[in-house]
Amino acid sequence: MSKIIGAEITAKVETQPRGKMIAYWTVTLLLAAAVMLSGIGQLMQYGGNLELVTNLGSPLYVLTILGIWKVLGAIALVVPGFPRLKEWAHAGIFFLMTGAAFSHAFADDYGDSGFHIILPLSYAALNIAGWALRPKSRRL
């Protein structure tokens, strides 16, 4: 007598834990808002942006270039789809923020309590966190 045992096959859909998804969107939206506001401020040459650029010895048109790239990068982070574009946006934001911190350090322009170094490095850390938490649909 032979026994036939029925095998049940279930498809397991890989989903990201809810807490990780909330953390991803919190970090991503916070980063996108900070980068977007920074970019708009640079495009408008608002606040201390002129002073920051002149202290580094850079021409003023750098503000327009950086502002445009920041606004486009922030949009790329939140728009649905385009995983390769998101990878490039994360890389660009990382290089932009670490470059800003190093530029201020090399120009001896630390700001109050190292603000000009700490702020861009904290944005770079936020960027790394957002990249690390991204769901599988946003990975290459």
More confident residue, 37 or 12: 37
35-57 mean pLDDT = 91
pTM beyond 0.85? no
pLDDT in tens, 85-125: 999 999 999 999 999 999 999 999 888 888 999 999 999 99
Residue 9 CA to its chain's centroid (Å): 40
- Give, rounded to a whole angstrom, the gap between the first and last alpha carbons of the chain: 52
84: Cβ–Cβ under 8 A, 6 or more apart, which residues? 140
Domain spans of the chain?
Answer: 18-135
Looking at the chain, list the stretches that DSSP marks H as alpha helix, in order from N- to C-terminal side: 18-43, 49-56, 61-78, 83-106, 115-133
